[in-house]
């Protein structure tokens, strides 16, 4: 019922093209996180879904209902789309109490009073704000106002809730708690949640599926969190969703070599089809995919070692090139840590090859 479909959506402000033939599907009863850097058009897409912006082309469907179609000249007004929204700046109405804020959508949808109160109470319960029902927003903290906004989005019987960076203004602990609560609420209600963020960490915690959007407004990958993390389709995704090391790949004799800055280290690997050394190739590897192994011919010097609780974070140099290495605490317990100043070998597990960027530096 609550499946969201964006089909060929284009949108531009004057000559400034934000979205071009954008396609995306959010499956019913799932949480899809749309992740992308600031300014890539995430909010514009949300506004199109809500009916606040009118796309130039394409169609938008929620379930069996066509909300917008440029071709069929359909444009359902905002108020009839029945989509819950949590705005980035909360948009809690300052002249209404918490209870009035949450009751408002029910009032507008002509829900009988008794039921409305019950549902509003339930929504407030879910965000743990019942005792603040008669407060004005000015008497609440930012996090509390945020919860009111979420309760307001939950209270309608909409099949779809959109959250546009709803937890950016909360502290880390509260953020984690909110994410768990959103997840919990979604499980109870079975709503489809379309969650917009630029923070891949919270996306990972929350989502069933993740969609990565590039700076120019194109969708570069859609998949489960494992897909995205383990099998990023391109360099942008790889770089965007986590810390990454890049090492240029060069020819070394008959085989390949890693450019260490001052020398070339032989590398036994194979380039995937479609990449050629002449255009420049880089090897990307995650810090936790670099494993210390004294036997390995790839020698690095350890500069610094920081204990981060669940893992050790190393800065090492391969020739003149700095790399980040992470060793889980468990691994460190079994095999011991490496001290700063030591030289040891490393193995690169699960390497990925990407076309080189102009300035090849690890992100």
| Contacting positions for other proteins (CB under 8 A) | 50-52, 73-85, 87, 89-96, 104-105, 108-109, 136-138, 140, 142, 145, 149, 152, 156
Strand bridging mode 299-307 / 311-318:
antiparallel
Which residues partner with 194 through β-bridges?
32, 162
What minimum distance in Å lies between the beta carbon of 80 and other proteins? 8
What minimum distance in Å lies between the beta carbon of 190 and other proteins? 20
What minimum distance in Å lies between the beta carbon of 282 and other proteins? 41
Calculate the alpha carbon distances from 177 to 128, 140, 290, 349 in Å. 11, 18, 32, 34
Complex with other proteins: residue 89 or 293, whichever CB lies closer: 89
Calculate the alpha carbon distances from 167 to 50, 146, 174, 175, 265 in Å. 20, 8, 9, 6, 45
User: Rounded to an integer, what distance in angstroms lies between the CA atom of residue 315 and that of residue 330?
Assistant: 19
User: Rounded to an integer, what distance in angstroms lies between the CA atom of residue 233 and that of residue 352?
Assistant: 10
What minimum distance in Å lies between the beta carbon of 136 and other proteins? 7
191 near 158, Cβ under 8 Å?
A: yes
Complex with other proteins: residue 60 or 260, whichever CB lies closer: 60
What minimum distance in Å lies between the beta carbon of 30 and other proteins? 21
What minimum distance in Å lies between the beta carbon of 48 and other proteins? 13
Complex with other proteins: residue 78 or 330, whichever CB lies closer: 78
Strand bridging mode 83-86 / 160-164:
parallel
Complex with other proteins: residue 136 or 329, whichever CB lies closer: 136
Complex with other proteins: residue 148 or 302, whichever CB lies closer: 148
Question: Residue 121 is inside which H or E element, if any?
Answer: helix 113-126
What minimum distance in Å lies between the beta carbon of 153 and other proteins? 8
Complex with other proteins: residue 81 or 352, whichever CB lies closer: 81
Tally helices (H) and strands (E) across the chain: 9, 21
Complex with other proteins: residue 49 or 298, whichever CB lies closer: 49
């Amino acid at each position: 019922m609550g499946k969201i479909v964006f089909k060929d959506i284009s949108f531009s402000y004057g000559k400034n093209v934000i979205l071009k033939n954008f396609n995306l599907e959010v499956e019913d009863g799932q949480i899809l996180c749309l992740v992308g850097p600031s300014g890539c058009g995430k909010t514009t897409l949300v506004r199109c879904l809500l009916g606040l912006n009118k796309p130039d082309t394409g169609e938008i469907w929620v379930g069996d209902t066509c909300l917008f179609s440029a071709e069929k000249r359909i444009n359902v007004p905002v108020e009839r789309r029945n989509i819950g929204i949590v705005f980035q700046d909360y948009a809690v109405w300052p002249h209404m109490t918490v209870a009035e804020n949450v009751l408002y959508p029910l009032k507008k949808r002509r829900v009988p009073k008794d039921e409305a109160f019950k549902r509003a109470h339930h929504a407030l319960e879910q965000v743990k704000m019942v005792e603040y029902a008669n407060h004005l927003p000015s008497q609440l903290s930012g996090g509390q106002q945020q919860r009111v906004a979420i309760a307001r989005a939950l209270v309608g019987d909409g099949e779809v809730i959109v959250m546009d960076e709803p937890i950016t203004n909360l502290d880390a602990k509260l953020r984690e708690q909110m994410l768990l609560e959103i997840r919990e609420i979604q499980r109870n209600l079975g709503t489809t949640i379309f969650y917009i963020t630029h923070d891949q960490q919270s996306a990972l915690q929350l989502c069933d599926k993740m969609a990565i959007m590039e700076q120019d407004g194109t969708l570069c990958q859609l998949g489960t969190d494992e897909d995205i993390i383990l099998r990023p389709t391109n360099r942008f995704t790889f770089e965007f969703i986590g810390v990454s090391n890049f090492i240029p790949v060069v020819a070394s004799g008959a085989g390949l070599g890693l450019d260490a800055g001052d020398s070339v280290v032989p590398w036994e690997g194979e380039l995937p089809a479609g990449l050629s050394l002449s255009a420049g190739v880089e090897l990307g590897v995650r810090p936790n995919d670099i494993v210390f192994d004294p036997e390995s011919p790839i020698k690095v010097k350890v500069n610094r070692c920081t204990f981060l609780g669940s893992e050790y974070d190393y800065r090492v140099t391969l020739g003149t090139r700095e790399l980040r290495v992470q060793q889980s605490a468990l691994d460190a317990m079994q095999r011991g840590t490496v001290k700063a100043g030591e030289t040891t070998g490393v193995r690169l597990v699960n390497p990925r090859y990407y076309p080189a960027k102009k300035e090849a530096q690890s992100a």
